[in-house]
Amino acid sequence: MSKLKVDELRSADRSVSDTANITLADNGSITIPNGTLSAGTIGDDVNLSNKYYLHLKVGLNETLGSNGSYINTVGTTQPYFAATGDTTNILPTDTNNIKIIRKGIYLITFSASTYQHSATYSAQTIQTIRGGTSVNPTAVISAAYDNIASAHSSEPDYSNGCATYVGELPANYYLRFQIEGIYNNDITIHNVTHASICLLRPTA
C-alpha cells in the first residue's frame, strides 16, 4: 500500500507562499481556508453540533394583563419562558427579547394556549411574534387569532393559536412573543404555551 504524507494541497497555479486550498491537520481534520465547498454530498455519518435551536416553555399559569403580555425571557417574573437549548447563539436578553446572533434561515413557532374559567361570554386572543433589528421590536412578523367560546358556565373554556414564521433573519435580530386578549382581560395563559426557534440554514 502506498502512502502520501502532506500537510497542504494547492492548485497548480498557486505558489507555496499562497494559502493552501486544503489543509490537513495532525488530528485528522481538514480545513478549506476560503470556506467554500462548491459541490458534494454530506454523508449520513457526519455529525453536526447541537447548537442553533431553542425551546421556550411558559413556567406557570398566569392571568393576562389588561394590555396583553409580552412573555419574559429573562428571570421568573410571570409570565415567563424557561429556555432549553442554545442560549448563546439564540440569546434570551433584555427582559422579554430573544436575540438571533447568526444570520440565516430560521423556523419560529409560537403555540399559545389560553383559557377562561366559569365565563358567561366569549373572548378573543391574539398570539403575535414581533421582530426587528433593535431591542423591543414592535413589527409583526407572524400572528394568529383565536376565540374562547363560552361553552361551560362552571368549567374552563380553552383556546389555542399558533403563529409560525420561516425566512432569513440578519445577525443581531430581536424577537418578542406577545399574547393579547380582546373583550376580556381575565384570560389565563396556560403553562403548556411554548415557542421554538431553529436555524435551518446559515447564510452568508
- Comparing 185 with 12, the larger pLDDT belongs to 12
pLDDT at 119: 66
Question: What is the percent of the chain where pLDDT is above 90?
Answer: 60
Once rounded to an integer, what is the mean pLDDT over residues 66-84?
A: 93
Question: What is the percent of the chain where pLDDT is above 70?
Answer: 97
Q: Please report, for the chain, the start and end positions of each structural domain, with discontinuous segments joined by +.
A: 53-202
Per-residue model confidence as pLDDT tens digits over 93-124 = 999 999 999 999 999 999 999 998 766 678 89
pLDDT at 103: 98
Which residues make Cβ contacts (< 8 Å) with residue 172, sequence separation at least 6? Answer: 99, 100, 101, 133
CA-wise closest residue to 87 among 76, 101, 75, 77: 101
Class of 53-202 per CATH?
mainly beta
Q: What is the pTM of this model?
A: 0.86
Once rounded to an integer, what is the mean pLDDT over residues 48-59?
A: 95
Per-residue model confidence as pLDDT tens digits over 130-181 = 999 999 999 999 999 999 887 766 788 899 999 999 999 999 999 999 999 8
For residues 96 and 71, give the distance between their C-alpha atoms in angstroms, rounded to a whole number: 6
Q: For residue 56, give the C-alpha cell.
A: 421556550
